[in-house]
């Protein structure tokens, strides 16, 4: 958490830290984060809770419809109201009334709190104008709305939200995140009897892989730090790359787990498959291995379920996880020269 923000107090990194590293007991911060991103394009500074409620609750409803848990406690009057609305038992006006009264309990006060303390920047401040409670949007939020990372961030929140709610819903502290290379999505498998283990109905789809990974790389190519997009069909749409190439597996008689999240990075197209200096199936320079370790430690600093997956696969301590990377890299380097590196380094890294 500290490393993620060290020497980087940008609006983008601070906002990302809220939804990447927060110790959540409910998904309200995700809904508020998406609402704030939406409001960053607003011409208004003061937003009453009455005006905020329909924006906020619509984001909640999108996830309540999935049937997955949105809170760790056994009950919530606000979530219950969302469920009642979805089953046509209360009207829209009634849901908005509950949202205004109960939906913002704690989340507005706690939004800027992160494990390391409180954010340096504030994206809104509580306010009362006339008889109306609400929030005042700050310049930091409006700057965020003009950021080159803005289009990515909305989907990053969604990807993180998908992971958290799935982990809560499955009620499995050892939930393992896997990667489907064909669909480019993250999924998990429910622990069942061996003969049923691979049945499709035991598979739980989680989220397209680009969404949750991008925030941990701060919207930049893993190799050259150039800006990337997770939107399809853009000139800078990123590739999902295996840091240690999959071809290394063909030379091993044991499963190296190269499709594991620990080995997946987002790369710009030029670094991954550019004509002049594309990585393709080459092994990166060993210095980049330490960058991979640093990125993976960001996963460890977040909860559910990337943290648990990395610990299960690579070790319980930072030292053991680095040794895990070194051992596989050493094996790969025994028949692939670790010489590849990007042509240019852009901007500031992560």
What phi and psi, each to the nearest 5 degrees, are found at residue 189? -120, 130
CB 145 within 8 A of CB 134: no
What pTM was computed for the model? 0.93
Q: Residue 252: CA atoms inside 13 Å, Cβ hemisphere, count?
A: 18
Angle at 20 between CA 114 and CA 227, to 5 degrees: 120
Residue 37 pLDDT > 70:
yes
Between the alpha carbon of residue 161 and those of residues 70, 206, 218, 296, the distances in Å are 9, 10, 17, 19
Q: Residue 21: CA atoms inside 13 Å, Cβ hemisphere, count?
A: 26
Residue 63 pLDDT > 60:
yes
CA distance 150 to 15: 11
Report pLDDT digits (tens) over 327-346.
Answer: 999 999 999 999 999 999 99
List b or e across 276-296, with b for residues whose CB sees 16 or more CB atoms inside 10 angstroms.
Answer: eeebeebbbeeebbebbbebb
CA distance 130 to 298: 43
Helix pair 11-21, 28-39: axis angle to 10 deg:
160
Q: For 226-270, what is the HEC assignment?
A: CECECCCCCCCECEEEECCCHHHHHHCCCCCCCCCHHHEEEECHH
**What pLDDT is recorded for position 194?**
53
Length of the chain: 350
Residue 2 pLDDT > 80:
no
73: left (phi over 0), alpha (psi -120 to 50) or beta: beta
Mean pLDDT of 195-214: 78
CB 25 within 8 A of CB 75: no
Residue 126 pLDDT > 70:
yes
Q: How far is CA 222 from the centre of its chain?
A: 15
Mean pLDDT of 261-272: 97
Residue 200 pLDDT > 60:
no
197 — pLDDT class (breaks 50, 70, 90): very low
Percentage of the chain exceeding pLDDT 90: 82
**What pLDDT is recorded for position 325?**
98
Q: Which residue has the higher pLDDT, 304 or 59?
A: 59
**What pLDDT is recorded for position 74?**
83
**What pLDDT is recorded for position 266?**
98
List b or e across 140-166, with b for residues whose CB sees 16 or more CB atoms inside 10 angstroms.
Answer: bbbebbebebeebbebbbbbbbbbbbb
CA distance 138 to 129: 16
349 — pLDDT class (breaks 50, 70, 90): confident
Mean pLDDT of 166-181: 89
Mean pLDDT of 238-256: 94
- For all residues of the chain together, what is the average pLDDT? 93
């Amino acid at each position: 958490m500290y490393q993620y923000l060290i020497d980087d107090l940008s609006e983008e990194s601070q906002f990302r830290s809220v939804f990447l590293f927060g110790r959540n007991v409910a998904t309200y911060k995700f809904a508020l984060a998406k609402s704030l991103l939406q409001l960053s394009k607003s011409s208004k500074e003061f937003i009453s809770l009455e005006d905020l409620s329909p924006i906020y609750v619509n984001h909640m409803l999108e996830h309540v419809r999935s049937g997955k848990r949105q809170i760790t406690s056994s009950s919530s009057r606000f979530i219950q109201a969302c469920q009642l609305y979805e089953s046509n038992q209360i009207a829209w006006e009634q849901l908005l009334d509950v949202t205004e009264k109960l939906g913002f309990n704690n989340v507005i006060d706690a939004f800027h709190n992160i494990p390391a303390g409180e954010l340096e920047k504030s994206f809104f401040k509580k306010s009362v104008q006339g008889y109306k409670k609400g929030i005042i949007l700050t310049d930091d939020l409006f700057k965020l709305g003009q950021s080159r990372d803005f289009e990515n961030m909305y989907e990053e929140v969604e990807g993180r939200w998908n992971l958290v709610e799935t982990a809560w819903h499955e009620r499995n502290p050892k939930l393992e995140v896997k990667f489907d290379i064909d669909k480019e999505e993250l999924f998990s498998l429910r622990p069942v009897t061996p003969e049923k283990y691979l049945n499709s109905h035991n598979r739980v789809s989680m989220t397209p892989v680009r969404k949750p990974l991008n925030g941990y790389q701060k919207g930049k190519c893993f190799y050259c730090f150039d800006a990337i997009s997770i939107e399809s069909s853009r000139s800078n749409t990123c590739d999902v790359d295996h840091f240690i190439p999959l071809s290394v597996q063909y030379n091993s008689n044991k499963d190296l787990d190269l499709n594991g999240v620990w080995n997946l990075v987002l790369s710009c197209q030029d670094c991954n498959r550019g004509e002049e200096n594309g990585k393709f199936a080459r092994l990166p320079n060993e210095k980049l291995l330490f960058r991979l370790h640093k990125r993976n430690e960001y996963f460890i600093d977040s909860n559910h379920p990337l943290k648990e997956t990395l610990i299960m696969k690579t070790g319980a301590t930072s030292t053991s996880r680095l040794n895990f990377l070194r051992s596989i890299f050493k094996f790969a380097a025994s028949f692939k020269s670790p010489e590849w590196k990007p042509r240019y380094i852009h901007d500031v890294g992560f």
